[in-house]
Amino acid sequence: MKTPQKLKNQSAIVTGADSGIGKAVAIALAEAGAKVLINYAHNQDAADEVVNTIKDAGGKAFAYQCDVSKENEVKAMFAAAIKKYGTVDILVNNAGLQKDAKFVDMTLEQWNTVININLTGQFLCSREAAKEFIKRGVVEKRSVAAGKIICMSSVHEIIPWAGHVNYAASKGGISMFMKSIAQELAPHRIRVAGIAPGAIQTPINKPAWETPEAMDKLLELIPYNRIGQPADVGKLAAWLASDDSDYITGTTIFVDGGMSLYPGFADNG
Ligand code: BGC
């Protein structure tokens, strides 16, 4: 069955859309009818592949390289999307990475890289999106909102994570960043929401699922007893970007098979 075209005539920017969750989000938005800028940092071939997948299915997309932590590059990316599609209706702040280290061994570079990409990148992209949304306002035939911003967070916005302090701090920061801009932008009819994925089977956490032993250990943390798939997150993003979720702003939805339910307490405590 064909996906209903709930994002018809809307255009979207998805950061870090060349792999993993970002790729699934871009494909889901395109299936719902959006034209999508596929942002990537390094891997042009992978980004082109996502574009081709979308085009083969009858959708519209183009690849655009930009480091989301660089102000000028982000501004240029928004200008490129606006030039190509006229405006931007949806931003999915997805680009993110891990630079894991024990806390006492963590270098300033590892700290800064993660905060710059994961948190500052969301600031820079959201600011450009909000300016465009406010300037344009609501265009009723596309959406009842003036724009939608989706911030990719993680269960680690609430679950502390030893050995990943930079990453957990960036995700905790995204939670408060998302809520604060949601409060500030709501009067402009701009909606902002967070998505907190748990363990989704992507390259970022390969060591956690690539062997049967690792997978068994991981499943102890997931009451629903399966690893998440990128499409689980893609479907949620498409819904959050659509008018079906029009009364939702300033909240984070967890898509984690129950990982955030303190599974260790199921038979303890
Ligand atoms: C991390 C993954 C991890 C998952 C659950 C995600 O935010 O990027 O590496 O598997 O959280 O712990």
Task: Return the percentage of the chain with pLDDT > 90, whole number.
Answer: 99
pLDDT band at residue 138 using 50, 70 and 90 as cut-offs: very high
Mutate to test the pocket of ligand 1, among 19, 94, 114, 155 (most ligand atoms within 8 A of CB): 155
Please report whether residue 3 resides in a domain: no
Residue with tokens 């993110």: 96
Please report whether residue 38 resides in a domain: yes
Residue 146 CA to ligand 1 center (angstroms) comes to: 32
Determine which one of 40, 167, 224, 262 is catalytic. 167
Residue with tokens 């265009």: 139
How confident is the model at residue 73, as a pLDDT?
Answer: 98
Sequence length of the chain is 269
d(CA 242, CA 147): 10
Rounded to whole angstroms, what are the CA distances from 247 to 143, 178, 190, 251? 13, 16, 11, 11
Residue 30 CA to ligand 1 center (angstroms) comes to: 25
pLDDT in tens, 76-105: 999 999 999 999 999 999 999 999 999 999
Q: 3-class SS at 268?
A: coil
Please report whether residue 230 resides in a domain: yes
Please report whether residue 6 resides in a domain: no
- Whether 7 and 32 have beta carbons less than 8 Å apart is answered as yes
Mean pLDDT of the chain: 98
- Whether 18 and 24 have beta carbons less than 8 Å apart is answered as no
pLDDT over 90 (residue 3): no
- Residues 199-219 have a mean pLDDT of 97
- Residues 99-114 have a mean pLDDT of 98
pLDDT in tens, 23-53: 999 999 999 999 999 999 999 999 999 999 9
The amino acid at residue 153 is S
Task: Return the percentage of the chain with pLDDT > 70, whole number.
Answer: 100
How confident is the model at residue 2, as a pLDDT?
Answer: 73
Angle at 238 between CA 235 and CA 240, to 5 degrees: 110
pLDDT over 80 (residue 170): yes
Please report whether residue 2 resides in a domain: no
DSSP state of 142: T
pLDDT over 70 (residue 136): yes
Q: 3-class SS at 37?
A: strand
pLDDT band at residue 1 using 50, 70 and 90 as cut-offs: low
Annotated active-site residue 262? The verdict is: no
Whether the CA torsion 246, 251, 253, 258 is positive or negative: it is negative
pTM beyond 0.85: the answer is: yes
42, burial (CB in 10 Å: exposed 0-12, middle 13-18, buried 19+): exposed
Provide the domain limits for residue 80. Answer: 11-256
Please report whether residue 223 resides in a domain: yes
In this structure, what CATH number is given to the domain that contains residue 124?
3.40.50.720
- Residues 240-265 have a mean pLDDT of 98
pLDDT over 80 (residue 141): yes
- Answer whether 186 contacts ligand 1 (Cβ < 6 A): no
Please report whether residue 35 resides in a domain: yes
- Indicate the number of domains in the chain: 1
Could you tell me which of 99, 189, 82, 208 has the C-alpha nearest to residue 137?
189
